Chains A and B, each alone.
Chain A
Amino acid sequence: MRFTLALKNILKSKGRSLTTLLLSLFTTTLFIVYVAFMDGSHHQIIKSSVEIYTGYAHVNLKGYRDESDYGNLIEDASSIDEILRNDTSIKTYAPRFETYALLSGDEKSVGSMIVGIIPSKEEKLSKLASSLSKGEYLNDNDTNAIYIGIKLAERLKITIGSQIAMVGSSIDYSIAADIFTVKGIFKTGLFDFDAQSAFVNKSYLDSVILSDNKATYFTVDFQNNDHINKVTSALQAKLPSQYEAVGWDSLLSSLVQAMLVDSIFGYISISIFFLVIFFVVMIFSYVNIYTRTREIGLLRALGLTSKDIFIILFIEILLLATVAVSIGAIIGGVIAHHYELQPIVIDGIAEMYKDYGLVSDEVPMHFDLFTITWNALTIFILNLLAIVYPALKINKLTATEAMRYV
């Protein structure tokens, strides 16, 4: 009977029900879209960092992440190469040798990261080749050709065909020096990366700094990178004990943390919005419930307890919120899904967030069922909470007081 009464109350008061419904529906959709957009931009930032250069996972000597120096090199790169080659969960991989050197153009000298890469393999692993801005990308037969970031080229005041001198350190700590010709200039959009890195063919760099069959790390792309912790620990198990496999979330831990902090600020600002919504819903329920005071008084007079009244009001909001939040979640989900496939373009957003590593004005939303579920549940619970105060308040009236109410 309580359920029937609640249902009839909803159906017979169409205006009231519809307003409540639309209010929670709108809130649900808005919340889901907001979070999808926020998550989307964060995913985008992390994804570009991962895909442009870092890669989904690294294999390196334990200790290398704390001290990235010549004391922590992979001494026998071919043995790791063989393990990775035989691992079917891995799509591609390549060794890299990262070192630091002084680069000098005609007028200026700049400290920079120099990386020895296998150009043909790197083409499949990172966005280096596709980020070509001027000149040409490297090939596996190149000798003293260098591929440098656009900002670095600007700082050195050089262009394609210019010569630059490199002074660095061999792995035996003797001085290594050579002259390179600029073959290509790249622009990834990652500001620091474009300003501080240069690439050369690894086989040639090995001869300059005596790093033959050595690598600072291997970068690895798995067949499926979705559950990075699972695949990296599986790989870890196959490696000799002095090596470790590290997933992108650890490799980019400071970026991941920055995104987390940004999310927290995002949630704080949306909480303020929720507080407003919560009070709107509450005031609305308050008015709704008070216009029914006489009827509630009658029910109490007939022998329903205040608990029964509370249950009726609760069933009403439960039904309305279930419908509203479900529809709201579906609409929010569809929007999130649509803009995940066809990202929103916001002119200038990449420029604004370039320090974060946003490289494109296209910001896809992030569609995630788990996120949508908890977003929807939050609004749902908020809706239920909003009637508690008005319901308790009206139950304070005695039956006769309530029946007198006009």
Chain B
Amino acid sequence: MKLNHITKTFYPDSPKEVKALTDINLTFNKGEFTTLSGESGSGKTTLLNIIGGLDSATSGQIFLDDEEISAYSEKKMAKLRLQEIGFIFQAYNLIHVLTVRENIGFIMKLLKFEDKEIESRILELASILQIENILEKLPGEISGGQQQRVAVARAVASRPKLILADEPTANLDSKNSERLMDMLRTLNEKEHVTVIFASHDKYVLEQSKRIIVLDDGVVIEDR
């Protein structure tokens, strides 16, 4: 994946104008395990959203396998997200009328996986993330950390090629953070899933193979 001269300006040409991203040029290779780091307000979420096609860049292009996805229609982009990208958002991740089990299986159901396969995948992930005993609960009935783990399970369930995770460990204690990172790491190594985080969690940074530091919308470090 390649980002060419990506700029994002909120409220352009108005007194409220915010330059969230300025001339970002980055290349992500298949199988990367990368963290976008930087202070609060530096543009991590904004960049992640643009990579995932949730938001459009003010200028610049994004290429995925030589296709310019920044030019995709809303419908095409939605399909790409559904099939290829797993999201873990900073907050408000789950569909509150569906149980934990249904939330985890949601994307697989939409992609018309077989019920049996969905069920075994749910059980597999639930056991890794230690959420087996809350499968029948609604999101409103479980803790923030549990919600975050359910969101992770949903994001990886259908084995997307790219996982975008915005502060996935923000609500987790160190033990759970480790488990989550281990799991994503395993996925990354075994299935060559590309993972991009936005995080300033030390543990996440330690685990990452590549760290990109943003400051005020500009890349100041890439190692």
- Is B58 an interface position by the 8 A CB rule? no
Q: How far is the CA of A228 from the CA of B74 in the complex (A)?
A: 60
Q: Which residues of B, 94-110, contact A by the 8 Å Cβ criterion? A: 94-98, 102, 106-107, 109-110
How many residues from B make CB contacts under 8 Å with A? 29
B54 contact set on A, CB distance < 8 A: 301, 398-400
**Most B Cβ at <10 Å: residue of A295, A303, A307, A399:** A303
Closest to A305 in B: B78
B93 in contact (CB, < 8 A)? yes
Query: Which positions 1-51 of chain B face chain A at CB distance < 8 Å?
Result: 49
* Chain A interface mostly: helix
Question: For the complex, is A5 an interface residue (Cβ under 8 Å from B)?
Answer: yes
**Which of A2-39 touch B at CB < 8 Å?**
4-5, 8-9, 11-13
- Give the CA-CA distance A336 to B146 in the complex, in Å: 56
Q: Which of A13, A307, A400, A403 contacts B97 (CB 8 A)?
A: A13
CB distance from B46 to the nearest CB of A (A): 9
Contact B97 A12 (CB under 8 A): yes
Name the residue among A9, A304, A306, A399 with the largest chain B CB count within 10 angstroms: A399
Q: Which residues of B contact A398 (CB under 8 A)?
A: 54-56
Which A residues between 378 and 406 are near B, CB-CB below 8 angstroms?
398-400, 403
Whether a CB of chain A sits under 8 angstroms from the CB of B75 is: yes
Interface pair A8/B98, CB less than 8 Å apart: yes
By a CB distance below 8 angstroms, the chain B residues around A400 are 49, 54-55
Please state if B89 and A303 are interface contacts (CB–CB under 8 Å).
Answer: no
Task: Tell whether, in the assembled complex, residue A301 and residue B87 are in contact, meaning their CB atoms are under 8 Å apart.
Answer: yes
B8 to chain A, nearest CB (A): 11
User: Does B97 contact A5, Cβ atoms closer than 8 Å?
Assistant: yes
- Please measure, in the bound complex, the distance between the C-alpha atom of A306 and the C-alpha atom of B79, giving whole angstroms: 11
**Does chain B have a CB within 8 A of A1?**
yes
Q: B83: which of A1, A8, A13, A303 is its contact (CB, 8 Å)?
A: A303
CB atoms of A8 and B82 under 8 A apart: no
Instruction: List the A residue with the shortest CB-CB distance to B110.
Output: A1
> Is there an interface contact between A5 and B98, defined as CB atoms closer than 8 Å?
yes
- Chain A contacts for B138, CB-based, 8 A: 12
Interface string of B62-103 (1 = CB under 8 A from A): 000000000000110011111101010100111111100010
Instruction: State the CA gap A294–B89 with chains docked (Å).
Output: 12
Which chain B residues lie closer than 8 Å to A299 at the CB level? 95
Docked-complex contact A303 and B49, CB < 8 angstroms: no
- Jot down 5 A-B pairs with beta carbons below 8 A, ordered by A: A1-B106, A301-B81, A302-B81, A303-B81, A304-B78
Please give me the 4 A-B residue pairs with the lowest Cβ-Cβ distance, nearest first.
A303-B82, A303-B81, A12-B97, A8-B97
**Chain B interfacial positions (CB closer than 8 Å to A):** 49, 52, 54-56, 74-75, 78-83, 85, 87, 89, 92-98, 102, 106-107, 109-110, 138
Q: What is A's interface to B at a CB cutoff of 8 Å?
A: 1, 4-5, 8-9, 11-13, 294-295, 298-307, 398-400, 403
